[in-house]
Amino acid sequence: MNLLGLARHGLNPFEQFALLGVLVVALISLLYAWLLRGSVLKHDKGDQKMQDVWNAIRIGAESYLGRQLRTILPAIGLLTIAMFLSVFVVQPSNEAAVEFPQNTSMIIAVGRTIAFIMGASFSLIVGQLGMRMAIQANVRAASAARRGFNEALSIAYYAGTITGMLTDGLGLLGGTIIFMVFGKASPDVLLGFGFGGTLLALFMRVGGGIYTKAADVGADLVGKVEKDIPEDDPRNAAVIADLVGDNVGDCAGMAADIFESYEVTIVSALILGLALSAVEPNPALKLRWIVYPLIIRGIGVISSILGTFTVPIWEKFPIKWLRAHDAEESMFRSYEVSSVNTVVFSFVVAILYAHDWRLAALTSIGVGLAVAFNPLTSYFTSTKKQPVKDIVKATDTGPATTILTGLSVGMESSVWALIVIAISFVFALLLYEGDGSNYVLYAVAMIGIGMLSHTGNNVAMDSYGPISDNSNGIGEMSWHGMEDEATLKARQIMADLDAVGNTTKAITKGVAIASAVIAAVSLFASYFADITRVQIQLNVPAALQLTSINISSTKVFIGFLLGGALPWLFSSLSIKAVSRAAAEIVIEVRRQFRIPGIMEGTKTPDYGEVVGISTKSAQKELVPLATIAVVTPLMVGLVLKVEALGGFLAGVILCGQLLAVFMANAGGAWDNAKKSVEDEPRNLAANTGKGSERHKAAVVGDTVGDPLKDTAGPALNPMIKLVNLVSLIAAPIMVSHENLGVVGWIVVFAMLAAWIWAFAQSQKHVDLTKEIDVPAVAGNK
């Protein structure tokens, strides 16, 4: 049997069917997304006022994405060429030469280039379409809130599911097609696919993160702090930018980020699988190491569809003890359905097809890991648990103790998150230690495959957050001053939806970070495996081949120190970037407030101007950060060589993980501590509720936490993956050019110059005392 010529890769009939099945599943998930789109769009968009607000958000968000695309297009163009040429600097793998005996380099070069463009486009599509759907849904959910809770919830949740299914479908489609075409040569090509996705994710995550917090902080600093007007007040010129920010940051950025993890875990699983496949003694089982992860991904997508499909049934489920009490519980119940389904079928496939139950145990551990992060994140950030209660108590003694308690909570949460990840690795070790270290590395990659198998559900739950947040904002703005009962009831529904969204957003954030780390560790493992492969191919003498990344070697230790420093630098710079961008917004909002009529509410502020400033400065801040992320590992690898670069990667992963979780959870805990205080009865004498001194302290905590949890922390996810992927791609070049030569050193110094330029950009200042006195007439349209 030879379906679509798949037999030439050595696939047996079952494997050929299975791969086609996976492909079909990928297409089904895209179809499911399309069907969901229809069901969301059929709802109404509410009255004219709502649509006005909504249009402003929509135009702002689209103009952001458009501008972002223009900013990064030159970089993408340049890197497309680099991808193409990279194949000619170091010859493709021996496997590629076997698959394509003629024109090997050219075929791989074209393949890698197309894959790169495909990876980048898919990431872009997930971000762009996902965000557009979110925007389509938010006004509809707001309108539906007037009719009832469930309708509003299902609009928001299913719009989120669209993004989830796009992530699943495109990720699976890309990986499967590449394997079908390139067979054993696919790692050469998959690197391009992974890199395209990673690069776009970095751009969207970092740019979106800076945008969203610059707008948020800028709006708050002038609105809440200086003018003492409430959040989402339509008189504040930055309020639309703030709402746009939720979409470009939490929605587009997050989706691209998770898509990337989804992609690179499959890339590293295939790379590590090929290494095992080469030494597999049983010819009939040779390809199981590669086909198994693809099948599991297919099963995961089916599970996700099944799970998200069941959301509405849980509140009326016939069996009582399984019945859900509220919307949140329904989402979790549906997640459990997906999990059970994946675990069961992965054991079926592992035992019947791969003849190794341990593979299913690993993917199940991965599934469990994603689930384990729920209670963990929730313990440290939920208002019902001790850590947030401690922060609330600390507000008694002012902002300083509030901050200190939050820092301590964040630090501790980071430790436990890391311990959970370490435990999952212990399982990989226990199951495969006897088989050798390459098997353990593959086992770690399988945990990653399992962990991301329910990306559909995760992205759905995450995208639900900004959608409900935005509906709430649209309500606040378009129903400003309306106090009739129907409106009040609709508002309460939206506030409830928003609260659910905050929880699901926090949880998926935890999963996103953990998945980034698992993905990065898989890439790190592939890095080591790949260097060995390249060295053999380049006929490096056995004595000089890399057998370990020896951290007790001083050179590796130096790389390791530098690697650990990178996430700290990245965090420091991204916090600064937010401050700078926020400062520009502050200046503009202040200017508009001086225009007569704005503060009185008789004139509409120029929202577009602030959106434009936000967009522009986010782009400006993005480029230096991306430059540092790409150039640093290359410099370390070229100067200190591949083994030290391995140390560097380990340092990046460790410090990246610890810092990212610390920032995300400290921020989440402060956020919820503030909400706790706001939910107290307002009594200034007893120092409780909104407006009290305790509330002010809590607001300080929340404001500190915002850029940590929504910019600096999330920016680390794509960064650690990008650094690992860049190293993986560049490793063959570094191995084959041990002696740099003049050209090599020129390249290093050019990179150093780029690094210094990027760093210098990040040290610039915005003069907040600069007050442009633009004539009031010109300033207002």
708 to 737, contacts with a copy of itself by CB under 8 A?
A: 708
Number of residues that make up the chain: 781
DSSP 688: B
Q: Does 683 bind a copy of itself (CB under 8 A)?
A: no
Minimum distance from CB of 735 to a copy of itself (Å)? Answer: 15
Please give the residues from 560 up to 589 whose contact with a copy of itself meets the rule CB under 8 A. Answer: 560-562, 564-565, 568-569, 571-573, 575-576, 578-579, 586
Please give the residues from 512 up to 541 whose contact with a copy of itself meets the rule CB under 8 A. Answer: 521, 524-525, 528
> Could you tell me the sign of the dihedral formed by the alpha carbons of 554, 555, 558, 559, in that order?
negative
Angle between helices 455-478 and 254-279 (to 10 degrees): 170
Which CB atom, from 549 or from 625, has the smaller least distance to a copy of itself? 549
Distance CA 592, CA 604 (A): 10
Number of C-alpha atoms within 13 angstroms, CB side, residue 88?
A: 10
Please list the alpha-helical segments (H only) found in 9-47: 13-41
Distance CA 259, CA 170 (A): 9
Q: Does 45 bind a copy of itself (CB under 8 A)?
A: no
Q: Does 393 bind a copy of itself (CB under 8 A)?
A: yes
Minimum distance from CB of 64 to a copy of itself (Å)? Answer: 23
> Could you tell me the sign of the dihedral formed by the alpha carbons of 168, 171, 177, 183, in that order?
negative
Compute the radius of gyration of the chain from its Cα atoms: 26
Please give the residues from 402 up to 441 whose contact with a copy of itself meets the rule CB under 8 A. Answer: 403-405, 407-409, 411-412, 414-415, 418-419, 421-422, 425-426, 428-429, 433, 437, 440-441
Which CB atom, from 89 or from 225, has the smaller least distance to a copy of itself? 225
Please give the residues from 433 up to 492 whose contact with a copy of itself meets the rule CB under 8 A. Answer: 433, 437, 440-441, 443-444
Minimum distance from CB of 715 to a copy of itself (Å)? Answer: 13
Beta strands in 399-522 (DSSP E): none
Which CB atom, from 323 or from 576, has the smaller least distance to a copy of itself? 576
Helix/strand/coil for 231: coil
Angle at 669 between CA 668 and CA 674, to 5 degrees: 100
Beta-carbon count within 10 A of 148 CB: 12
Which CB atom, from 401 or from 736, has the smaller least distance to a copy of itself? 401
Look up residue 613 and give its two tokens.
């400033």
Beta-carbon count within 10 A of 654 CB: 17
Minimum distance from CB of 461 to a copy of itself (Å)? Answer: 27
Q: Does 765 bind a copy of itself (CB under 8 A)?
A: yes
Number of residues that bind a copy of itself (CB under 8 A): 83
Distance CA 231, CA 702 (A): 14
Look up residue 626 and give its two tokens.
């991306």
* 549, 589, 623, 660: which one binds a copy of itself (CB under 8 A): 549
> CA–CA distance from 620 to each of 162, 469, 580 (Å)?
31, 27, 11
Minimum distance from CB of 403 to a copy of itself (Å)? Answer: 5
Q: Judge whether 264 and 119 are in contact, CB under 8 Å.
A: no
Which CB atom, from 516 or from 578, has the smaller least distance to a copy of itself? 578
Segment interacting with a copy of itself (CB under 8 A) among 27-35, 52-60, 466-474, 559-567: 559-567
Look up residue 298 and give its two tokens.
């297919």
* 131, 394, 459, 598: which one binds a copy of itself (CB under 8 A): 394
Minimum distance from CB of 667 to a copy of itself (Å)? Answer: 11
Minimum distance from CB of 579 to a copy of itself (Å)? Answer: 6
Q: Does 121 bind a copy of itself (CB under 8 A)?
A: no
Q: Does 400 bind a copy of itself (CB under 8 A)?
A: yes
Distance CA 287, CA 291 (A): 6
Which CB atom, from 111 or from 410, has the smaller least distance to a copy of itself? 410
Closest CA to 724 of 623, 663, 622, 656: 656
Q: What is the helix (H) or strand (E) element at residue 394, kind and residue range? A: helix 386-394
* 2, 39, 397, 492: which one binds a copy of itself (CB under 8 A): 397
Q: Does 648 bind a copy of itself (CB under 8 A)?
A: no
Minimum distance from CB of 564 to a copy of itself (Å)? Answer: 4
Look up residue 216 and give its two tokens.
């948020």
Look up residue 453 and give its two tokens.
């198998």
Segment interacting with a copy of itself (CB under 8 A) among 39-47, 96-104, 469-477, 653-661: 653-661
Minimum distance from CB of 662 to a copy of itself (Å)? Answer: 7
Number of C-alpha atoms within 13 angstroms, CB side, residue 522?
A: 34
* 703, 724, 727, 780: which one binds a copy of itself (CB under 8 A): 703
Minimum distance from CB of 189 to a copy of itself (Å)? Answer: 24
Q: What is the DSSP string of 238-277?
A: THHHHHHHIIIIIIIIHHHHHHHHHHHHHHHHHHHHHHHH
List the x/- string, 582-621, binding to a copy of itself by CB under 8 A.
Answer: ----x-----------------------------------
Minimum distance from CB of 221 to a copy of itself (Å)? Answer: 5
Segment interacting with a copy of itself (CB under 8 A) among 249-257, 323-331, 401-409, 602-610: 401-409
Minimum distance from CB of 703 to a copy of itself (Å)? Answer: 4
Minimum distance from CB of 386 to a copy of itself (Å)? Answer: 8
- Residue 261's φ and ψ, nearest 5 degrees, are -60, -40
Which CB atom, from 53 or from 578, has the smaller least distance to a copy of itself? 578
Q: Judge whether 325 and 411 are in contact, CB under 8 Å.
A: no
Please give the residues from 219 up to 258 whose contact with a copy of itself meets the rule CB under 8 A. Answer: 221, 225
Q: Which residues contact residue 761 at a Cβ distance below 8 angstroms, ignoring those fewer than 6 apart?
A: 620, 623, 624
Q: Which residues pair with 683 in a beta bridge?
A: 688
* 70, 555, 594, 764: which one binds a copy of itself (CB under 8 A): 555
Which CB atom, from 131 or from 663, has the smaller least distance to a copy of itself? 663
Please give the residues from 193 up to 222 whose contact with a copy of itself meets the rule CB under 8 A. Answer: 221
Which CB atom, from 414 or from 463, has the smaller least distance to a copy of itself? 414
Q: What is the DSSP string of 690-716?
A: TTSHHHHHHHHHHHHHHHIIIIIHHHH
